[in-house]
Structure 1
Amino acid sequence: MTPVTAPWVRTRLRAAPGAAVALAVLVAVTACLAAAFPRTLDRYTDAGLRRAVERAPADVTGVQVSAAPDPGADAEAAEDSLRPRHLTAAYRSVLGIVERPLVVDEEQSSYGVRVTDGLPSPEKWLPRPDGLPAQMVLAAPQGLDGHARLRSGRLPKVPGGRADASTTRVEAAVTEGTARTLHIKVGSVLHVLGDRELTVRVTGILTPERPDGAYWSVDPVLGTPSLRRMPGPAGAPSPTYWVGGLLLAPEAGPALLGAAPVVRYWHLAPDPDALHSRDLDPLAAAVASVESGPALQRLHTTIGPLTDATTGLDDVLTTYGQLDDDIGPLIAVAASGSGTVAAVVLLMAGGLAAGRRRAELALLRARGASAAGLAGRLLAETAVVAVPAGALGLGTALLALPGARLLPALWAAAAVTAVACLALPLRATAAHRRVRVHDGRRDAASPRASRRRTVAELTVVVLALGAVEMLRRRGATEGAGDLVAMAPVLVGVIAALVLVRLYPLPLRGLARPARRLRGAVGPLALARAGRTSASTVLPLLALLTAFTVAAFGGSVLSGVADARDRAALLSVGADARVEAAEPLPSGLPGRLGQVPGVREVTEAGVDWLAKTPDGRQSLPLAGVDPGAYAALAGRTGLGAFPEGRLTRPDDAAGGSGEAVLPALASPAVAERFGSRAFRLRLADGNTATLRIVLVRDRTPAVYGDDFLVVDRAGLPAGSVPPNVLLLTGDDLDAGALHRAADDVGTVHLRSEQRDTYVDSPLQSGAERIYTAAVAAGAGYAALALLLSLASAAPERAALLARLRTMGLTRAQGRRLLVLESLPQALPAALGGILTGWAAVRLLSPGIDLTTIAMSTTASPVGRAELRADPWWLAVPAVTVLVLAVGVATLQAWWSGRRGAVTELRAGDAR
């Protein structure tokens, strides 16, 4: 056979331009989705890591390097080590020692000299809340002029131009917050008492440029004064005192040497833009090296033996790594399932093209074309279309999702392009490896599969069953590795191969008794549907895998939503909550009840300071109307109870007498007091006698593990007035509720509380990826079904044409195609439900949705487990049935319009 030439390729593309365009669109879309997945994942994980670092305090995420003067150095060497030239040189050395990928943000980093503790100032004009003198922290930071604006006065200087340990007079600046709180003005003079007295004259007041940045946040007392308490015995009142910061000139560092113990510091702020989730392990290694590894040893050599480095960045990285590890398997399941369905569709597209050109390829083989040469021509023909389409899809993903790694996206797009290029040549080579003069009828089927196919299928099923059993035994978090991601594919492979072998058997059994029925449509449909065909494995695998991904993804999404809804309900107690420390106005429930969407308003009075008679323990006590509160507890599912059990006795009206009130309690309180009566001292000094008659884990009015609920009518009059209103309704308007509350109480909405549980882009990104994966899998599954039906369309059209020549009506033809498609679509739908349920059951013991739902392993609702969602199991199955019947009906209608002569042309090999 001659080498591949352009005329052949050009001729074949011109002969079927529609097929070439369809292949290009399929490859471009698939390559774009494949390349977009790793880039989207990179963007979400990087954003999650940066958010975790940015939300943590600057003194936690920064690397704080500090060093005291060398104990063996003379006075002159100690003074020189505190001068700007030496500090800057040491700062450059520290930057060089920090290992990548930990990158330092030099703009927000700081270094300088400061005293180790605050020094008291005897000035009487400084505020003294409890009579204690204010303390001042003296620091000589570098780069002060670049991080603050001068509001009044001037920046401090060193009197005489040079400071040393004997200097007693220095100048300083303060921030406007320090000046306002401590009553400091330009020209104020403070005396600071240390080892010797320092006289500090304030020359300027500054406004920090970025008060929330790391430069000011690492040592916040330099920018904002702090009111602190003196240490004392537990429970005893401790006096307070103010601590403020005085910012000296950078050259004034040696003046602090003789006044108090000093330390050189270098606060290194990490650069958030340089943080990438893929570098999490190297980042942790770099941080550990600075804290206690080789980098710290180099700091000892460069700066001094007393150099120390501390940071909380490693804890932040560990917490984020746990979140990433918990969410990673979930994303991998979605990616593997959707990727498998897309790959199956590409293979089916190649198979459809090979089937469409079967006669042409058989003729070429009969005329002497070699299998290798034929495969080469087909590869070149396909590559001319697929490679530019794959490049277009890759380019679209790169432009739409900037700022992520190129290589994973490139590999993903290349894999899609390779599958698209090889599908047609390999399928054609397999079908035409032998030269055939006559290809036979396309509607003929072998009564049984070949031994080779049987052995191959058994091997695949055994391997898949072994992998599933290994995954079931190890779980999703115990080293099962990539098996977790392949769970939908493994279950789909097993179900597809089993269903292909089993579903024809009952149909063949029904075919014989169906012959006794009147008419030929039913028996003919059963006979045709009962044939075994290897071509049904791929579309069935695509459908079952898509079902599994949809069921698993839907269960994940619904489980996450349920966990957040439940946690928000536990926190708020209803759909909305209005509470205040003081009694709420009597007209407020009526105003809130008129807000659109509000159905019920339930009052409750909560005494948060109720104590046992010995005063050692506080127990929140809720006084409620038993009828309304029981209805609320039943609606919300938070500790429902019969209202009659909580109603006060007749002799307990208004708290009169020594009547014992029935109470509902939490398990912890019930275990403490049992069934005996006990007294409770209320916040206003009155007492109530209670006996626990009901025990519930939760209750709407009080959130926590300790609570008591009683009939408010049985309490002393005015003891527990209503201060909590619990609202139920749909689509509550936060603005309207706030206006109705009129600032007399704090409004909490369940919807707002639910939104607070999503505080990481990794959480929201994982949900979006899952939604996109389920949608993509469903789209490709539908396309697989359409390709499967399209491959059988010519043969079905010819069958209808032949039957119409024998008297079959158009209505009978539609019924025939519908009945023929149902025995295949129905097992696929039922198998999809089974595989989806099996995958969820398989992975649920090892997958915890708490992290993705609540962004933490601590959840008010406990462990959020993965459960099969009936809605996500049923909808895809029904969709497949509707789609299969719809396509069969449409094909029958279209074939009826064309006529039998068009289908049964002379020389037609069908």
Structure 2
Amino acid sequence: MRIALLARAHAGALVVLFVLTALACLLVSGLPRATQAAFDRALQRALISAPAVRTDLTVAGESRSPREDLHEPAAFAERERRWRALLPATLRPLVAPAGHMSAKTSLTPVTGTGGHTYINLGWLSDADRRVDWVAGRAPGAPSTTRFQGQRIPLFEVGVVEEALDQMNLRLGDTRTLGESDFAAVRIVGVFRAKDPADRYWTHNTDILHVTKLQPPGKLDFEFHTTTLIPDAALAALSGESRNLTYRWVLPLNGQAASALAVPGIGAGVAELERVLTLQATASTPYRLETGLPKVLGDFTAGLATAQTVMYLLLAGLLAVALGVIVLGVRLLTDRLDQTLALARARGGSLRQVAGTGAALTAAAVVPAALAGYALAFLVPGPVLPLAHLGPAFVLVAGVGFGAARVALAHRTPLHERRDDVAAARPSARRITVEALVVVLALTGAYLLRARGLSAQAGLDPFLLLVPIALTLAAALVTVRCYPYPLRLLVRLAARGRGAVPFLGLTRAARARAAGGLPVLILLPALAVSVFAAVISDGITGTQRLASWQQVGAPIKVTSTIEIPAATIDRIRATPGVEQVVTAQTARVQLGYSSERAEAIAVDVAQWRRLLAGAPIGLPELPGGPSALVSPELRDRGTLDIGWQSRIKAKVAGAIDAVPGFYRTGKFVVLPQDVLTRPAVNTLLIKGDVAPGEVARLVPSATVESQEGALAAIQGDPLTGAVRTTLVVVTVALALYALVAVILSLVVGAADRARAVAFLRTLGLSDRQAQRLTMLEVLPMVLVTALVGFGLGLALPAALGPGVDLSAYAGDLPVGGYSPDLLTPGALAAGLALVAVLGAYAHTALDRRRDLGGALRAGDLS
């Protein structure tokens, strides 16, 4: 047959098919690329925002013999080149070329302090680029001094400013270190970090800050600081008499990481650990220090849920898109029906007829698939196998259905069918298969809730199959069952005087061939879009709750020192400030033992008023010396608390968390008036005031806001990717659902027009024709909308523990969905409206047709 002539004759159907196919290929090829790019950004942000000490690869080794001591920077550089040569191939692109090295002693006590003060020696390969000397001078070469009648090494050192006050050190002091193998240090300089916020310092917090420790079972604290020594001091530093550790830091370049490479990165870290153990000598073992596996594990846990949700949505989108394409192919093949039947009657073979249907379908599908596939390359992101397989699957499915439908319709010449006379009876085999699908779907949903996710890492296929099976089962049940209530309505309509209700409902109940396919398209479209809307609303609500729990107030000000009363008065007088609640936080002693707890003294009644309208709250606290405590302290009865003075507080109740302060461990909430003299170090502020303005008034404090916390949660790339995909898929499915309704009207237009033409010869008016068309179309749309709506609301509960969305909601579990019914209701109403408008448009077009042209001569006999 002449394909070009047929294409010109059916150009409208081909254009519709072209648009549907191109859009489907663009979505199934472009969305995976976009989501994978979002996954990569999320991983890069996780690696960059984590402390460098957790993500960098640090090779550490203890020197236990003079033979293993490294006395010059060149020896450290030579070892670094060795470690870089041992890096597995998966880690080499991620390791930055510029690292640093260090040599530090640990647990070096100051002689005569009873183990309460420790001054360690530390060498950094790039100290000259990292610190500024604010007092004294940089340390010089070591020398010797006499102590207890023997010569001991004397190191010139520099200390951080913080150590001067907390450890009672002074510039020029000389302190003796050790209990048996002695050394001395002379403080010749005081330094300050050039950029204290640099991630570099997470490797060297012992140098930048004084460490204050309370040993178990003791009331006194230990103070530790690590001083800086110069390159020349390495010659006198030995592991024979000190706890000496060498470290080589290989910094990780987070910007070069890819989510697809996470399994390889984890395997590379394990391989590097194994190789380093083989480099150990008899006196110096080497090990790998990194928290990278933990960071990758946390990211993978959130990624698995994101992949599950996205692939579930993409699977539903692909199924609906294919269904709409099938409707478009059906529209095309229905219009070819008379032409192909005539060709078959004139001796055309089944292969020729089927080839014609496939070729004409391919004339629209092939260029559309290529166009959609090409447009997908405009979407930034890595090219996944799914980006290639999706368009290919759409192309094969479209052309294959076109050939199969034509072959089945014309397998015998002049094979007339009258589906409108009586509903076809399904075979026993088909009923058995459909019943099996329903049973398996329900069983799968039960098992998913019972067992949860697979313990193995990665995407759980069971979690993808169960929602698809539930959707398919609901569609099959709807297709099979919705004619039965219509038949009851037909019987009631038969008793009435009007013929239009009886005829319209009868055609709706019998139009199985025309009504079944739209149901299979509309139901998953509605179910997945409602599911996406419910999940999106659940995430949004939980994100807001998490932001309030993180901050505990619209604005929270915390300070390490007391906030002066004059500053508090200025904040109260700031325009926009409505309420200020003062509080004091501290770590307090419980009883007379070493047991400690976190405590906050606050006016709970004022705090409750400040939280009015927020999704969080606090229980009332009775007056007098009473306390709200953590669950671990609920059975104490009365607490003896050592704070400014000894306080005896009766336990008034237990709370799981104190919003903005404590979520785990032991904690106590006390009335502020139980303190002898409240030293306010925390402010809770309500009002329309910028956090920056508050920070200006209290420069020594940290200012947090609920809006800022919410923006940080929502700004996570992984969270943004999930929400964007939910929105895109919801909109796409809504459009596909509307297109499905329109196509279902067009597909049955010829048969409907013929029926209306018959009835017009019997006196059917235009208004009655419109009612007839609406009664034929609306039942399918309304029943499918209700079932899809219910299934979409039930899917989050059906999936249960299978979808953990806490990673996108501030680590709070997303549950107890209370969906906003506006979006689903608008979608269902839109479908009904399109069906009504389509019915009116259909009858309006039918009025222009000549009855003689709509009726064949054989139909009147």
Shift of 1:727: 3.2
Contact 1:825 1:880 in 2 (8 A): yes
Structure 1, residues 725-764: CA drift from partner, whole Å, max 9, x if none?
5537xxx563697499887997643222223335742222
SS in 2 for 1:752: helix
SS in 2 for 1:808: coil
Measured on the aligned residues, the alpha-carbon RMSD in Å equals 5.3
Counterpart of 2:398 in structure 1 is: 420
Counterpart of 2:739 in structure 1 is: 783
Counterpart of 1:529 in structure 2 is: 508
Output the amino acid matched with 2:404: L
Structure 1, residues 390-438: CA drift from partner, whole Å, max 9, x if none?
2222222223214x134331122222222222221122112222221x6
Matched, 1:245 2:245: no
**Taking structure 1 as reference, are residues 435 and 331 closer, same or farther at Cα in structure 2, changes over 3 Å only?**
same
Contact 1:612 1:619 in 2 (8 A): no
Distance 1:877 1:35 in 2: 28
Counterpart of 2:92 in structure 1 is: 103
In structure 1, which of residues 286, 296, 303 is the aligned counterpart of residue 276 of structure 2? 296
**Taking structure 1 as reference, are residues 734 and 462 closer, same or farther at Cα in structure 2, changes over 3 Å only?**
farther
Counterpart of 1:397 in structure 2 is: 376
Output the amino acid matched with 2:774: V
Shift of 1:228: 4.6
Distance 2:858 2:280 in 1: 89
Counterpart of 1:806 in structure 2 is: 762
SS in 2 for 1:807: coil
Counterpart of 1:184 in structure 2 is: none
Contact 1:340 1:489 in 2 (8 A): no
In structure 2, which of residues 92, 102, 123 is the aligned counterpart of residue 138 of structure 1? 123
Output the amino acid matched with 2:778: L
Structure 1, residues 497-526: CA drift from partner, whole Å, max 9, x if none?
222222222222332332342332222212
Counterpart of 1:282 in structure 2 is: 264
Structure 1, residues 237-274: CA drift from partner, whole Å, max 9, x if none?
6575753434538xx97675699776665432334344
**Taking structure 1 as reference, are residues 619 and 115 closer, same or farther at Cα in structure 2, changes over 3 Å only?**
closer
Output the amino acid matched with 2:463: V
Matched, 1:569 2:548: yes
Counterpart of 2:836 in structure 1 is: 885
In structure 1, which of residues 325, 336, 343 is the aligned counterpart of residue 322 of structure 2? 343
Counterpart of 1:767 in structure 2 is: 723
Matched, 1:548 2:523: no
Output the amino acid matched with 1:816: L
Contact 1:501 1:532 in 2 (8 A): no
**Taking structure 1 as reference, are residues 210 and 104 closer, same or farther at Cα in structure 2, changes over 3 Å only?**
farther
SS in 1 for 2:464: coil
Contact 2:18 2:364 in 1 (8 A): yes
Structure 1, residues 519-539: CA drift from partner, whole Å, max 9, x if none?
322222122122141332222
Contact 1:211 1:217 in 2 (8 A): no
Distance 1:577 1:86 in 2: 50
Shift of 1:791: 0.5
Structure 1, residues 688-732: CA drift from partner, whole Å, max 9, x if none?
98794x77767879866855576x9x989997999755537xxx5
SS in 2 for 1:336: helix
Greater CA drift, 577-586 or 344-353: 577-586
Distance 1:289 1:257 in 2: 31
Counterpart of 1:316 in structure 2 is: 295
Contact 2:753 2:846 in 1 (8 A): yes
In structure 2, which of residues 439, 453, 467 is the aligned counterpart of residue 465 of structure 1? 439
SS in 1 for 2:296: helix
Counterpart of 1:125 in structure 2 is: none
**Taking structure 1 as reference, are residues 803 and 311 closer, same or farther at Cα in structure 2, changes over 3 Å only?**
same
Distance 2:713 2:555 in 1: 17
Distance 1:64 1:766 in 2: 34
Greater CA drift, 384-393 or 781-790: 384-393
SS in 1 for 2:123: strand
**Taking structure 1 as reference, are residues 201 and 680 closer, same or farther at Cα in structure 2, changes over 3 Å only?**
closer
**Taking structure 1 as reference, are residues 379 and 146 closer, same or farther at Cα in structure 2, changes over 3 Å only?**
farther
TM-score (norm 2): 0.79
**Structure 2 unaligned blocks of 5 or more:** 143-151, 166-171
Contact 2:72 2:231 in 1 (8 A): no
Output the amino acid matched with 2:433: T
Contact 1:665 1:708 in 2 (8 A): yes
Output the amino acid matched with 1:362: A
Counterpart of 1:753 in structure 2 is: 709
Counterpart of 1:656 in structure 2 is: none
Structure 1, residues 836-888: CA drift from partner, whole Å, max 9, x if none?
2332332124333323322x4xx4xxx43263626165443333222222322
Counterpart of 1:4 in structure 2 is: none
Matched, 1:511 2:490: yes
Counterpart of 2:348 in structure 1 is: 369
Contact 2:571 2:694 in 1 (8 A): no
Matched, 1:212 2:198: yes
Contact 1:134 1:242 in 2 (8 A): yes
Counterpart of 2:362 in structure 1 is: 383
Distance 2:537 2:516 in 1: 31
SS in 1 for 2:786: helix
**Taking structure 1 as reference, are residues 787 and 618 closer, same or farther at Cα in structure 2, changes over 3 Å only?**
closer
Distance 1:724 1:213 in 2: 29
**Taking structure 1 as reference, are residues 457 and 173 closer, same or farther at Cα in structure 2, changes over 3 Å only?**
farther
Output the amino acid matched with 1:100: A
**Taking structure 1 as reference, are residues 21 and 824 closer, same or farther at Cα in structure 2, changes over 3 Å only?**
closer
Output the amino acid matched with 1:768: T
Matched, 1:623 2:613: no
Output the amino acid matched with 1:281: P
Distance 2:495 2:89 in 1: 81
**Taking structure 1 as reference, are residues 407 and 802 closer, same or farther at Cα in structure 2, changes over 3 Å only?**
same
Distance 2:248 2:225 in 1: 26
Q: How does 1:387-786 map to 2 (within 5 A)?
A: 387-402=366-381, 404-436=382-414, 439=416, 444-452=419-427, 454-475=428-449, 476-478=452-454, 481-576=460-555, 581-583=563-565, 595=576, 601=578, 604-606=581-583, 608=585, 620-623=600-603, 635-636=613-614, 638=616, 661=624, 665=628, 668=631, 671-672=634-635, 692=652, 706=667, 724=683, 727=686, 734=690, 738=694, 748-758=704-714, 760-786=716-742
TM-score (norm 1): 0.75
Distance 1:270 1:640 in 2: 43
Distance 1:822 1:316 in 2: 53
Counterpart of 2:58 in structure 1 is: 64
Distance 1:114 1:667 in 2: 43
Structure 1, residues 209-239: CA drift from partner, whole Å, max 9, x if none?
998366x764567xx7444559878765657
Distance 1:82 1:679 in 2: 56
**Taking structure 1 as reference, are residues 578 and 62 closer, same or farther at Cα in structure 2, changes over 3 Å only?**
closer
Greater CA drift, 577-586 or 368-377: 577-586
Distance 1:105 1:287 in 2: 12
Shift of 1:446: 4.8
**Taking structure 1 as reference, are residues 496 and 782 closer, same or farther at Cα in structure 2, changes over 3 Å only?**
same
Shift of 1:661: 4.5
Matched, 1:327 2:306: yes
Contact 1:83 1:254 in 2 (8 A): yes
**Structure 1 unaligned blocks of 5 or more:** 1-6, 123-129, 160-167, 182-187, 647-659
Contact 1:52 1:320 in 2 (8 A): yes
Output the amino acid matched with 1:387: V
Distance 2:195 2:645 in 1: 52
Counterpart of 1:163 in structure 2 is: none
**Taking structure 1 as reference, are residues 545 and 589 closer, same or farther at Cα in structure 2, changes over 3 Å only?**
same
Counterpart of 2:782 in structure 1 is: 826
**Taking structure 1 as reference, are residues 64 and 603 closer, same or farther at Cα in structure 2, changes over 3 Å only?**
closer
Q: How high is the sequence identity, in percent, across the aligned residues?
A: 23
